[in-house]
Amino acid sequence: MKGMLATLLCLLFCLTSTASALAAQDYEWTADDYIWTMRSKRVNGVPIGDAIEDAFANVEWSVTTDGTDVYGVCEGGVPGDDFFLLVRFTSEFSFEFVACQRNGREQENPSQLTLEALQAYAQSHRCAACAGLGYTDACMNCAGSGFAFGKQCLACGGSGRYFCKACRGFGVMTNDYTRACPFCDGTGTSGTCPTCGGSLYVLQSGMLLLCPDCTGSGVTTCSVCSPGGIALGYLANS
């Protein structure tokens, strides 16, 4: 009797579920997206875009292709103090430095100009609220250990400290490049859970149990912005 009731309940959940496939994962990364990747990439908390635009005037960003390769171009400055930077994208969210010119002269290390700009920005934009540490005080719930009651501290996420709200934990004052994930339209999900069909439950050994694959959410989380199983719906590229 219990097994039959569980079966009927499972069928009822499946029939009444309205979860549908959400935004597709086949979104094609655009030129603006690649520029976002290049500008938002953080090194020691500092976005490359912030550092270069602070160091040089008239900075322009663009994207070009050569066959299947996608390249990012950053150039600007003024006569006598100009630069040209070329990177090759290895994925939607990563790239490698290919070439760099400073005042028309090829630089031996293509990343040197960027590294110098990052260092200068970090020194001149240090967060005053936390003295550049990125955090303010030790977590009172776990006394700075990161663990409370034998588990990871929920108050600080296991860091043992409170992130500085002024600089968002980076230790430097920067722009926020966080954006809605275009692969899932900011929902954090990619469609109905294939295991439970969106019903939230599965039938195992005559018992109705919470779906182990979606943990009762009824959906599959976006593999791009929410690979950890928690639907985020945004991209930070930090």
Give residue-wise pLDDT tens across range 113-132. Answer: 999 999 999 999 999 999 99
User: pTM for the whole thing?
Assistant: 0.76
| Domain count within the chain | 3
Residue 115 shares a structural domain with residue 132:
no
Q: Which two three-digit tokens encode residue 44?
A: 């020691």
Residue 16 shares a structural domain with residue 86:
no
Residue 94 shares a structural domain with residue 107:
yes
Residue ranges of the chain with per-residue pLDDT less than 50: 1-24
Is 133 exposed, middle or buried (CB count within 10 Å of its CB: 0-12, 13-18, 19+)?
A: middle
Q: Return the pLDDT at 110.
A: 97
Residue 66 shares a structural domain with residue 145:
no
Residue 120 shares a structural domain with residue 40:
yes
Q: Return the pLDDT at 219.
A: 85
Picking from 59, 94, 125, the residue at the C-terminal end of a domain is 125
Q: Return the pLDDT at 15.
A: 30
Q: Return the pLDDT at 14.
A: 36
Picking from 138, 153, 173, the residue at the C-terminal end of a domain is 173
**Strand ranges (E), the chain:** 42-43, 46-47, 60-66, 69-78, 81-91, 94-102, 105-106, 135-138, 147-148, 151-152, 161-163, 179-180, 189-192, 201-204, 207-210, 219-221, 234-235
Residue 231 shares a structural domain with residue 216:
yes
Residue 219 shares a structural domain with residue 137:
no
* Alpha carbon of residue 56 to chain centroid: 27
Q: Which two three-digit tokens encode residue 52?
A: 């270069």
Note down the domain range covering 14. 1-27+182-238
Residue 48 shares a structural domain with residue 100:
yes
Q: Return the pLDDT at 150.
A: 83
Residue 40 shares a structural domain with residue 115:
yes
Distance CA 107, CA 110 (A): 6
Picking from 85, 102, 125, the residue at the C-terminal end of a domain is 125
Residue 132 shares a structural domain with residue 120:
no
Is residue 122 within 8 Å of residue 44, measured between CB atoms? yes
Q: Return the pLDDT at 238.
A: 66
Distance CA 178, CA 11 (A): 41
Q: Return the pLDDT at 163.
A: 85
Residue 101 shares a structural domain with residue 40:
yes
110 three-class SS: coil
Q: Return the pLDDT at 25.
A: 56
Q: Return the pLDDT at 24.
A: 44
Residue 73 shares a structural domain with residue 157:
no
Distance CA 18, CA 139 (A): 42
Q: Return the pLDDT at 64.
A: 96
